[in-house]
Amino acid sequence: MEPWVQEEIDRLVSESGTVPPPWFVFNEHPYSICWRMGGGESHRIVWWQWWLQQAFTEEQKIEYFRRWPPPYCWLAFLIEAVWGVDTYENRDNLASYFQRTEALGFGSQRDYERDLDDPKWHKVRP
């Protein structure tokens, strides 16, 4: 791990007791360019490294997301984080995972798909 990543993890944990999820730090669509460059990309790198360090149980992972509920369009991220599913490679086989997210109160596949296309995410930047 790059030293800057651990330094950022330490800073965030010192400030808030944890590393907040991406949508809390940057209110952006999961497919936004924000996550592929600059601060958004850096935060995702930090978050995933921190997440893997935690070695949470499934129950602890779910509790983390209860504390930081994702917007519906981030449910694929939750699926990947909680159950280790590569949601890109398995995009045609996610129905059972979306049933689990719905049963847990996070939202359904329909909520996810509708929110991905919601105009609220299409911001005009100055």
How many domains are contained in the chain? Answer: 2
pLDDT for 122? 73
Give yes or no: residues 26 and 61 share one domain.
no
Are 40 and 77 members of one domain? no
Task: Check whether residue 18 and residue 71 sit in a common domain.
Answer: no
- In angstroms, the CA 126 to CA 117 distance is 22
Same domain as 48, residue 31? yes
Q: pTM value?
A: 0.91
Question: Whats the size of the chain, residue-wise?
Answer: 126
Residues 23 and 79 in one domain: no
Model confidence at 124: pLDDT above 60: no
Q: Does residue 126 lie within any of the structural domains?
A: no
Residue 31's domain spans which residues? 1-55
Q: Do 21 and 63 reside in the same domain of the chain? A: no
pLDDT one-digit tens code per residue, 92-123: 899 999 999 999 999 999 999 999 888 887 76
Do 105 and 116 share a domain, yes or no? yes
Mention every residue, 6+ apart, whose C-beta is less than 8 A from residue 115: 71, 72, 73, 107
Does 72 share its domain with 45? no
Residue 79 in contact with residue 87, Cβ under 8 Å?
Answer: yes
